[in-house]
Amino acid sequence: MIFDGSVRPVPSAPGFRYQAFPSVGSTNAVAMDAARSGDAGKLWVISQEQTAGRARRGRGWSSARGNLYASLLLMEPMPEERLGNLPMVAAIALADAVEAACGVLGLVKLKWPNDLLVDGRKISGILLEALPLSGEQGAIVCGFGVNCAHHPDLGLYPAGDLAMFGYRIAPEHLFAHLAKSVAGRLDQWRENDGFAGIRKDWLARASGIGERITVRYPDREIAGVFLGIEQDGRLRLRLDNGLVEHVSAGDVFFG
């Protein structure tokens, strides 16, 4: 992989292109700029480091060299209700890629909606951002950060990296698997009832089903038993009063 910003085809994912940089502020921001400039989509932006990496809810994302930082620009004329599935599509594709790169099936568990866990430690982050454009067209950017060689101290949740578990995976090697798995899972998702298969695969890797969890919102938190996910991907939580709440967004904590 040549890190000079030139646009090149992705060998492992025909029809997709990539730009690789030695350093950017944020790969998501570069991909968004490409959308504003009229890019047709299916463009990956990769960087060896980020100086202003972002995570969910405006948090920063530690982005030193040695880990994978990649964002995919998609131009999606999909109904809004189906776009809510995309975080889980991204998560299952990343899980596929990590296990393929490491050569170990069953290595990864998923924490709702799209965190990857190895031995209970978070090894990745996924940030999806939308940009409305003219007409019905809109841009979606899926940003992936994977701790290959090192990890930050998240404070909120135990973090880890692949190297600490004995898997020394180069970011470029992991990206080749990621580009291939994302292309395949997107094709599956676009089919009629395609999310049903992705949901099934997500549940097979899910962590914490049947256990007590806490869901934290910016201004409150709720707790109960994690029952699974709905057909649209929302989390099903049985509260202490017996009622079932459907969660569309929030931070999940076990125990």
Cα distances from 9 to residues 32, 71, 177, in angstroms, run 19, 15, 15
Q: Is the pTM of this model over 0.85?
A: yes
Q: Which residue has the tokens 């029809």?
A: 15
- pLDDT tens digits, 198-245: 999 999 999 999 999 999 998 999 999 999 999 989 999 999 999 999
User: How many alpha carbons fall within 13 Å on the CB side of residue 54?
Assistant: 17
Mean pLDDT of the chain: 92
- pLDDT tens digits, 106-151: 999 999 999 999 999 999 999 999 988 776 678 999 999 999 999 9
Say which range, 12-16, 28-32, 58-62, 107-111, has the weakest mean pLDDT: 58-62
Q: Is 88 helix (H, G, I), strand (E, B) or coil?
A: helix
Indicate where the chain has its CATH 3.30.930.10 domain(s): 7-205
Nearest-CA neighbor of 144 among 127, 163, 121? 127
Indicate where the chain has its CATH 2.30.30.100 domain(s): 212-254
- pLDDT tens digits, 51-72: 987 665 555 666 789 999 999 9
CATH architecture observed for domain 212-254:
Roll (2.30)
254: buried, middle or exposed (CB in 10 Å: 19+, 13-18, 0-12)? middle
Domain 7-205 has CATH 3.90.25.10: no
Q: What is the 8-class DSSP label of residue 27?
A: H
